Amino acid sequence: MKSESLMMKNQTKVIFHIDLNAFYASCQLIEDPYLKGKAFIVGGSAVTKRGVVLTASYEARKYGIRSGMNVKDAFDLYPHVLVAPTRFDLYKKHSKIFFDYIKTFTNKMMKASIDEAYLDMTHHKDPVKVAKIIQKTLNDYYHLPNSIGIAPTLFLAKMASDMKKPLGITILRKRDIVDKLFPLPLKDLYGLGRKTYPKLIDSGIKTIGDFTKKEHQSSILSHMSEEHYQSFLTHILGNSTSIIDDDYQVPKSISQETTLNYDIDQEDLIIEMIQPLIEDALKRLEKHHLYAKTIGFKLKTSTFKLQTRSKTLMTATNDLIVIKDAITELFTLHYNHEPIRLIGITLSNFVEDHTPFNLFTYHLFQQGT
């Protein structure tokens, strides 16, 4: 296959979606090589058998163990499974290594979560060759196995990266949609809730191709809104966005979010997962020499119920502790303990010229009290 055929025709974009395979497990293997080749899980306790599996090694997955499962159920499937402690400091360290490396290939990069990113690679003459270099370097040198999807839109690139795991490179053009995407089982449709797809399957909608057929439209609309349905069709047919925001454009707001592999309702764990999102947002804030006055969070359940809350601070800031405390307080006040699937934070209401709020400038802010 000639990689030139991937290049622009009428300004068609070349988008990469890079997904680190079993990321938490890979980080544990880097830290503890003893785990190599063994069935192990990350998360929970081996002593109490309580907690939730964050991820499972590929050896553990052979026994049916998967992320989101109760640790007790994992032991029921395989009593000899090993349990590695959760290490968010470790995951953050290797996530930074990952992003620092892939940024060397393009300045148009968007983080999707701690272990995945979208890259606009349209300017590269041989994107397949570049994908092979990225994959090999991440795997062999940084010990981070990964899969790469190459497509003209962000959604199709995401779908492509999921098609071959681990260590796959998949090309998905618009002309490939019917042959490659339509035959996939409906559960593989990115963004479709775990509670929704079983109902659609019961209605005879078995594949992604079935989802696009007009004769199934009325059945589908009994389980989701017209707007949601049309959005899925736009994505599936390759007509959704191919734009990755230029990293150097001054933003009106900055947001970071991550989609989880399973539902979480543990408040302390959610707060812990919010922290790296805040730190990533602050890096972008500092790059543009901005200060944020409004902070907020976003939560989405597996049924796509969205909760957003925001708060305007007394003065704009780029102080990590101030913003962390404000978002944590806001979240603790409003979180209703529903299981969630997506976590996000937002900074907005920016100012560029700013007098810092501290003991030496305290008098300047007295007039508003």
Q: What total of structural domains would you count in the chain?
A: 3
What's the CA gap between 13 and 332, in Å, rounded? Answer: 42
Same-domain check for residues 214 and 348: no
Q: State the pLDDT confidence band at 150, using cuts at 50, 70 and 90.
A: very high
Residues across the chain? 369
Task: Give a yes or no: residue 325 inside a domain.
Answer: yes
Radius of gyration of the chain (CA): 22
Active site positions, annotated: 116
Which structural domain range is residue 334 located in? 253-357
Q: Is residue 29 part of a domain?
A: yes
Alpha-carbon distances of 129 from 101, 136, 175, 203, 273, rounded to whole Å? 16, 11, 21, 43, 35
Can you give the pLDDT at residue 81? Answer: 96
User: What does the pLDDT look like over 28-81, one tens digit per residue?
Assistant: 999 999 999 999 999 888 888 888 898 999 999 999 999 888 999 999 999 999
Q: Residue written as tokens 């119920």?
A: 305
Residue 41: inside a domain: yes
- Residues 273 and 300: beta-carbon distance below 8 Å: no
Handedness of CA 358, 362, 364, 369 (dihedral sign): positive
Task: State how far the Cα of 275 lies from the Cα of 325, in Å rounded to an integer.
Answer: 10
pLDDT digits (tens, 9 = 90+) for 186-237: 999 998 877 888 999 999 999 999 999 999 999 999 998 898 899 999 999 9
Query: Residue 356 pLDDT more than 50?
Result: no
Q: Per-residue DSSP letters for 186-234? A: GGGSTT--TTTHHHHHHTT--BHHHHT-GGGHHHHHTTS-HHHHHHHHH
Give 256-314 pLDDT, tens digit per residue: 988 887 788 888 889 988 989 999 888 888 877 788 889 999 999 877 788 899 999 88
The answer to whether residues 227 and 271 belong to one domain is no
Residue 147: CATH number of its domain:
3.30.70.270
Are 52 and 169 part of one and the same domain?
A: yes
In angstroms, the CA 38 to CA 266 distance is 28
| pLDDT tens by residue, 85-139 | 888 889 989 999 999 999 999 989 988 888 999 999 999 999 999 999 999 999 9
**Final residue of a domain: which of 137, 166, 181?**
181
In whole angstroms, give the CA distance from residue 32 to residue 74: 21
Q: Within this chain, do residues 59 and 121 fall inside the same structural domain, yes or no?
A: yes
What does the pLDDT look like over 172-188, one tens digit per residue? Answer: 999 999 999 999 999 99
pTM: 0.69
Q: Helix, strand, or coil here: 304? A: coil
